[in-house]
Amino acid sequence: MSRHVRARQICTQLLRGSSTTSPPAALTLLNSRVVLQEQPFSRGEYQIRSYAAPRAPRVRKGGTSYAEVYTLEGITVGTFEEAVKMSGMFEALSVPQYYEIAQRFAEAIKHGSSPWSVRLLGQNRLSHKDLYEVGCIMRHIREPRSSQAFAVAMWASAAEMGSRPATISLARQLIHSHAWGQKSQLRSVEARFKQLVSEGKDPNVLTVEGEHLYELGKYDAAANMLRRALALDEKDFEWKSQCQLHLGKAYLKLKRPAEAREVFETISESGSAEADVELGQLLRSSDTEKAEQHLYTAAINGKPEMFHHLSEIAFENMNKAADEQTRKDQQRWAMEWSRLADPKVQF
């Protein structure tokens, strides 16, 4: 049974007001890891929509020091434990050891080191692998926001020390947060990333560059870059689903809907809610039933705003209904979708 048929069955049970069948928990999105590992990629699965990409921190006007921005206040060993548990990764060191690295990093900034190029030697020596992983742990911490400042700084420092994953991950977050080229402190990281692009050997690198070209509105160039990434077909292609998603989006911008649909359907079956969103919008005018299936699947898998679209479709169907019973049924659907679109409603 496909995931969309199952979703439709649950949806029908919901409308009937069944008290014996509880809707399933939202499925974890597949192939959505945000960061690359130094070692061969693990296959952990987790959602990225629950937190925003960290932006490079700004020193406030009025003389706020780096030491005041990069503070561990509110970030404890317990905070690290929760983040590590949530990620399902980071087992090279114990949680206290990871936290100790964060303390040494913060202390170095307090004593005058640039956050973008912290390098400790001797007894306080930090490896770029360990520093990169601590930055990834910081990335999982939502509050306080200083955790996101730490994530950027740790990735930047690890990249300065030669970490390829840190270079790629930081380049991607700069692109997605529209900060590429905006921070003079990170120009060297951007230059190293461009060098990796020119080598053309890593599909993850080419994916990030394709995403960048897409963000710049260069859709044909983006599609070419993303196809190059997929052609490499490397086993450690961590961001393959994201590559396919952006290729589909580029095809839509290039007025090639049939090719876009083919790409989206491939990753939809692998569990991509983003692909279901795209398919729901793409099929809305040509195949309403399939559009509803994809929108509902997306809605219960981390995209609750899709309930709004389902409500709109139901109202449209109500207005086009040929008989009174159909009109009433569609009205009930529209009201139910509208209710579920309310973020205060527990589903």
CA-based torsion, 195, 199, 205, 211: positive or negative: positive
Give the rounded distance of the alpha carbon of 78 from its chain centre. 25
What the block records as the tokens of 128 is 């770029």
Q: How far apart are CA 164 and CA 141, in angstroms?
A: 23
Asked if the bond preceding 144 is cis, omega within 30° of 0, the reply is yes
The DSSP code sequence of 125-172 is ---HHHHHHHHHHHHT--SSTHHHHHHHHHHHHHHHTT-HHHHHHHHH
Give the per-residue pLDDT at 3: 55
**Mean pLDDT calculated for residue range 295-314:** 94
What the block records as the tokens of 94 is 């114990």
Give the per-residue pLDDT at 1: 52
For residue 30, give the nearest of 332, 321, 268, 218 by alpha carbon: 268
Distances in Å between the alpha carbon of 102 and those of 114, 123, 153?
15, 15, 11
Q: What is the pLDDT of residues 109-148, one digit of tens each?
A: 998 889 999 887 766 788 999 999 999 999 999 999 999 9
**Mean pLDDT calculated for residue range 3-32:** 37
- What is the reported pTM? 0.77
Query: Euclidean distance between the first and final Cα of the chain, in Å?
Result: 23
Q: In this structure, are residues 257 and 249 in contact, taking their beta carbons and an 8 Å threshold?
A: no
The residues spanned by each domain of the chain are 67-194, 278-346
Q: In this structure, are residues 303 and 277 in contact, taking their beta carbons and an 8 Å threshold?
A: yes
Looking at every residue in the chain, the average pLDDT score rounds to: 83
Tokens 């599609």 sit on residue = 223
- State the alpha helices, DSSP H only, in 51-112: 66-69, 77-87, 95-110
Q: In this structure, are residues 11 and 296 in contact, taking their beta carbons and an 8 Å threshold?
A: yes
In this structure, of 65-74, 165-174, 199-208, 287-296, the range with the lowest mean pLDDT score is: 65-74
Report which of residues 32 and 141 the model is more confident about.
141
Report which of residues 191 and 30 the model is more confident about.
191
